[in-house]
Amino acid sequence: MFKNAGSAEILRSQQKDEQYMTFLRSTIADNCQTLAGARFWIKWRKELDVLSDLGYFILTTLAGYQTIGEEYVNIIQVDSSKRRLPTLRRRLLMVILHVSSPYLLQKTMKNVEKCLERSRHPSVELKQTLPKIIPFMRNVFLYLHRFHLGIFYLHGAFYHVAKRFTAVRYIQYLSKSSMSRSSATFNYLAWLSLCQLGLTILLQLYKLYISSSHHHTINMVSRSSLSSEPVPANKTCSLCLELRLNPTLTPCGHLFCWNCIHSWCQTKPECPLCRYKFPPHRLVYLKNIDAPLH
């Protein structure tokens, strides 16, 4: 007799699969560095990880077998009817979505960012908006993932978005052990995760509103009062090409507006001029550096 697999069994299965997938990625990385060199592996390491995960699921799920994690906890994939195994087409779609979706999303955002950065005549508005769009989109995907995990802890059906999209569920052979206490624990965890996510989103929206209104007011007043005067080259921000406001020094010795370089480092923690990499907390805000001498 079979029953729906619980959250504990599905989580344990995913942990076991991730353990063996990590081992497979590490083995492929070592062999690639030995045969093709470290430079080749650094350039293609993400693609190799995708191919490694794809190979793991080709040998298990697509071949019609249980994964090592599924076999470990004795759970079986079924379709929405819970009476038949998923078809090959459904399993293929699930594997492609599960393996390639995170890689394609990250690759797409990086390519869009690079294309906009390489634009020869970007507008000032684009330069100020671009460093904020990419982190915002990443936060959106992160919050959606956390929301999906909260729903999983609550109902215990779909751990991955790919399985939810293809309606692939798990069933388990009914054992003597009861999972009622574990299910109650996961319900508490679900509501705690969803409440934390809601508070995080509200806090981020409030910070975004305060920051945008405050910086907009400061920039409008400061730049409008100085727009009639020519800006010296040694007081120009290399990112916005205007007068530096709240001058900030990078560890490599370059000066920018605080808003410009801070927004830039949220996406790429490196100097826009010399590409020197550094964490954002090493930015140094300078006071009175552009003040006239008396």
- List per-residue pLDDT tens for the chain, 294 residues long: 677 888 888 889 999 999 999 999 999 988 988 898 878 888 888 899 999 999 999 999 999 899 999 999 889 999 888 888 899 999 999 999 999 988 888 888 778 777 766 665 555 555 556 666 777 777 788 888 888 888 888 887 888 889 988 989 898 876 554 444 556 777 888 888 889 888 888 887 877 777 666 555 555 555 554 444 555 667 788 887 778 888 888 988 888 888 888 878 877 788 888 888 888 888 888 876 655 544
Dihedrals φ, ψ of 143, to 5°? -65, -40
Q: What is the pLDDT of residues 62-115, one digit of tens each?
A: 998 999 999 998 899 998 888 888 999 999 999 999 999 888 888 887 787 777
Sheet holding 2-4, edge to edge: 2-4, 169-173, 75-78
pTM of the model: 0.63
Each domain of the chain, given as residue ranges in start order, spans 2-122+157-180, 229-294
Q: What is the distance of C-alpha 33 from the center of its chain?
A: 27
Superfamily in which the 229-294 domain is placed by CATH = Zinc/RING finger domain, C3HC4 (zinc finger) (3.30.40.10)
Neighbours of 201 (CB within 10 A): 15
Q: What is the pLDDT of residues 218-247, one digit of tens each?
A: 555 555 544 445 556 677 888 877 788 888
Nearest Cα neighbor of 170 from 233, 44, 82, 235 is 82
Q: Tell me what pLDDT residue 178 has.
A: 44
How far is the CA of 177 from the CAs of 4, 172, 173, 259, in angstroms?
14, 12, 11, 58
